[in-house]
Amino acid sequence: MRELSVSGLSKSFGTLELFHDVSFRVARGERAGLVGANGAGKTTLMRCLLGEEEPDGGAVRLEASETIGYVEQQASLGAGTLHEEFRDAFSDILRLGEKKKAMEREIGRGGASEELLAEYGRVVLRFEHMEGYDVESRIRRVAFGLGFTDDDLTGSVAHLSGGQKTRVCLAKALLREPDFLFLDEPTNHLDIRMIEWLEDFLCSYRGGVLLISHDRFFLDRVATKIISLEHRTATVYAGNYSYYQKVRDERRAALESAYEKQQEKIRETEEYIRRYRAGIKAKQARGGKANWTAWSASCCRRKRRGLIISRSIRRGSARSAWSKRRIWRRLSAVI
């Protein structure tokens, strides 16, 4: 697979929903910038990906063999020297190197068995594959790139400032060059020269990178895609920060235009209904007046002809007389 796959991730704290239905992918060689307003849940999302927070729903898929390096905003270090802190990032490689040296001493005493020689060959191959011979050069390359000196390497990390400790954590994550790097505000406490070094390092990085940053210029240089966490979900933009801003603004303008057209249509429909209702009422009023006039005229004509209709009409008892001649009988009517 060689990629980080996130599908349908959701997270809430009580009644407060941070995000829902978050889905995206980050492959090796891609550098995704995670952006959003403060409090949108970016750090919580990253912790869910790392397994440090339990999501309410969804899935995170990553092969078991894939390694992750994580740099958080709050640094936590030991009490040794800076060089020892950096070497601690290679603890498994260093243990393998000690095992290799012990086997070399045993073989040097003579009489080594075929099993020992075969095991030694496997240890050497693994040590070389993990670039064990380059540990010291990698430490110095990253340490000097982040502004540390030879004197700093021999000094205690307990005396470092908060910004320096953040740089130490960043260096430890970069040293192992894991399959995926998760960086939370990596440019904090870095000067321009260090930021430029970090940009070059990440741009040539072969693994996948997911980083949280409010530095748009840094994201423009580094990111190959932007994951925007807003309205409690994630939208993916295939480009750097400037591309993301351009497409987002175009989408917002299109939505606003569609909304205005919808509102105009609603206003036109309401105005039509208002006029239609007014017309119906006027028509009914005119029709009622005409009916009343016709009925009154009819009553007058009947009166002139001597036609009399009782105001109080009971079923089966209505009668009318014209002189003494019977005109109808048993008339029922409702007026």
* pLDDT by position in tens, the chain (length 335): 578 999 999 999 888 899 999 999 999 899 999 999 888 899 999 989 988 889 999 999 988 778 888 877 656 677 788 888 888 888 888 899 999 999 888 888 877 788 888 898 899 998 888 888 888 898 998 888 888 888 888 888 888 777 777 788 888 888 878 889 999 888 887 888 888 888 988 998 888 999 999 899 999 999 999 999 988 899 999 999 999 999 988 888 888 888 888 888 888 888 777 877 777 666 666 666 566 566 566 665 555 555 444 444 444 444 444 444 555 555 555 55
Q: How many CB atoms lie within 10 A of CB 191?
A: 11
> In this structure, what is the dihedral angle of CA atoms 136, 138, 140, 146, given to the nearest 10 degrees?
-150
What are the distances in angstroms from CA 114 to CA 107, 109, 119, 126, 266? 11, 15, 9, 19, 88
Pairing relationship of beta strands 31-35 and 225-230 according to DSSP bridges? parallel
Per DSSP, the residues of 79-131 read SSBHHHHHHHTTHHHHHHHHHHHHHHHHHHTS---HHHHHHHHHHHHHHHHTT
* Residue (of 237, 220, 219, 217) closest to 228 by Cα position: 237
The answer to whether 169 touches 72, Cβ cutoff 8 Å, is yes
Domain ranges of the chain: 1-76+167-239, 78-159
Q: What is the pLDDT of residue 315?
A: 44
Q: What is the pLDDT of residue 76?
A: 65
Q: What is the pLDDT of residue 286?
A: 64
Q: How many CB atoms lie within 10 A of CB 320?
A: 15
Of the CATH numbers 3.10.20.30, 3.40.50.300, 2.70.98.10, 3.40.449.10, which one belongs to the domain with range 1-76+167-239? Answer: 3.40.50.300
Q: Collapsing DSSP states into helix, strand and coil, what is residue 46?
A: helix
Per DSSP, the residues of 198-221 read HHHHHHT--SEEEEE-S-HHHHHH
Output the six-digit token pair for 276. 């239609």
Strands annotated E in the chain: 3-13, 16-27, 31-35, 57-61, 68-71, 180-184, 208-212, 225-230, 233-237, 318-322, 325-331
Prediction pTM value: 0.65
